[in-house]
Amino acid sequence: MKVNKLDHGGGLDAAIARYGGTRVDWLDLSTGVNPVAYPVDRLASDTWTALPDTAAQEALVGAARRFWNVPDSADILAAPGASCLIAQMPRLGAGPGCVRIDAPTYNEHAAAFAMQGWAVTTGTAEARVVVNPNNPTGAFWDGEHREGLLIIDESFCDIAPARSLIDRVGDERTVVLKSFGKFWGLAGMRLGFAIGAPALIGRLRGWLGPWPVSGPALAVGAAALGDAGWAARTRTRLTADADRLDALMTSAGAGIVGGTSLFRLYEVGDAARWQDRLARHRIWSRVFPYSDTWLRLGLPAPDRWDQLEAAL
């Protein structure tokens, strides 16, 4: 499997340079980040001025354990974003060897393993990465894995907690990754989690060193993970908005391929042409190097639907 140059959503600066306008003009639908972020209240001054203390770290980990129903036997490590953890995953394996990553999926995993000398394959391997639900197709995984390291990336799984595979962390070869920025809409805060057996998580903790997560991120993360009511209301809203987006896109001639309630994946015939068309209306979308026909869109903010409707 060839590892392509990393491609991500975002890149709005390049779109502005090509098509004009300013950031306030643009509707960025190229990511799967919740457009209605968790409200961040004024933080105590010492969250900015003091080194993060043990109590703040324990409060965040405790909130994460309760929110995700993490087994008592598993350990939890908070880190400055899921990407930081993805880069460390190959070091947990007995490699370099072969890692199974079925395409298409989030490309950072293959790049991280390749950078550390692993061969990426779709066959038998010493390690495996699955994305649950998958990005960009939205498919859930609940398969079997009997040998080697298993990494389950659940960056988007908070939209469907019943489909989480968190109970698998009882296997000492399994690590579940969680992203905070997607569902809570605070991608700029950079917060992610690795959950697994204490021996595995202990190795990760040693590599990241002390204070990997900022004081503000500890405080906001603990509050958000403890707010079950906000999470439930958000899931309801996201589902309704995803349905609304599907209705708009299908009426414009797109076909539904899949996705989640944070992003939708469409078959559009000529993805580059669709991206160009939307960009001329100051709307940025996501296309993929491995497909000429797939277009992915995130959800508009509540006050920006008119802009998308006009473009379509």
Stated as kind and residue range, the H or E segment containing 277 is helix 271-279
Measure the CA dihedral 120/126/131/136, to 10°.
20
Helix (H, G, I), strand (E, B) or coil at 184: helix
pLDDT of residue 1: 38
Domain 46-226, architecture per CATH: 3-Layer(aba) Sandwich (3.40)
Which of 40-44, 129-133, 239-243, 298-302 is predicted with the least confidence, judged by mean pLDDT? 40-44
pLDDT given at position 312:
93
Number of H helices, E strands in the chain: 11, 13
> For residue range 79-103, what is the model confidence (pLDDT) as tens digits?
999 999 999 999 999 889 999 999 9
Which residue bears the tokens 């392509």?
Answer: 4
Structure tokens at 43: 């933080």
For a pLDDT cut of 90, what percent of the chain falls above it? 92
Asked if residue 2 has pLDDT above 50, the reply is: no
Would you state the pLDDT for residue 4? Answer: 43
Strand partners, 28: 284
Cβ atoms of 156 and 34 closer than 8 Å: no
Question: How far is residue 122's CA from residue 99's CA, in Å, rounded to a whole number?
Answer: 8
pLDDT confidence tier of residue 177, bands split at 50, 70 and 90: very high
Spatial CA neighbour of 83 closest among 4, 158, 9, 171: 9
pLDDT tens digit string along 41-58? 889 999 999 999 999 999
Task: Tell whether omega for the bond before 216 is within 30 degrees of 0, i.e. cis.
Answer: no
**Overall average pLDDT of the 6-14 stretch:** 76
Average pLDDT over residues 292-300: 98
- Tokens at 51, concatenated: 């080194």
CA separation for the pair 272, 205 (Å, rounded): 42
Given this model, what pLDDT does residue 170 score?
87
Instruction: Give residue 7's pLDDT.
Output: 65
* Confidence check: pLDDT of 176 > 90: yes
pLDDT the model gives residue 147: 79
Report the alpha-carbon angle 217-223-224, nearest 5. 85
Look up tokens 């002390």; give the residue: 210
Same fold across 12-37+229-311 and 46-226: no
Domain boundaries, the chain: 12-37+229-311, 46-226
At 9, the pLDDT band (50, 70, 90 cuts) reads low
What is the tens place of the pLDDT at every residue in 111-161?
A: 999 999 999 999 999 999 999 999 999 999 999 887 799 999 999 999 999
Q: What is the mean pLDDT of residues 206-229?
A: 96
In our burial notation (b when 16+ CB lie closer than 10 A, e otherwise), range 93-132 reads bebebbbbbeebbbbbbbbbbbeeebebeeeebbbbbbbb
Residue carrying structure tokens 């277009």: 295
Nearest to 180 by CA among 90, 60, 300, 91: 60
240: phi > 0 → left, psi -120 to 50 → alpha, else beta; which?
alpha
> Rounded to two decimals, what is the model's pTM?
0.94
Mean pLDDT calculated for residue range 223-235:
98
pLDDT at 207 over 90: yes
Mean pLDDT over the full length of the chain: 95
Binning pLDDT at 50, 70 and 90, where does residue 59 land? very high
The answer to whether 201 touches 195, Cβ cutoff 8 Å, is yes
CATH architecture of 12-37+229-311: Alpha-Beta Complex (3.90)
Q: How many CA atoms lie within 13 A of 151 on its CB side?
A: 33
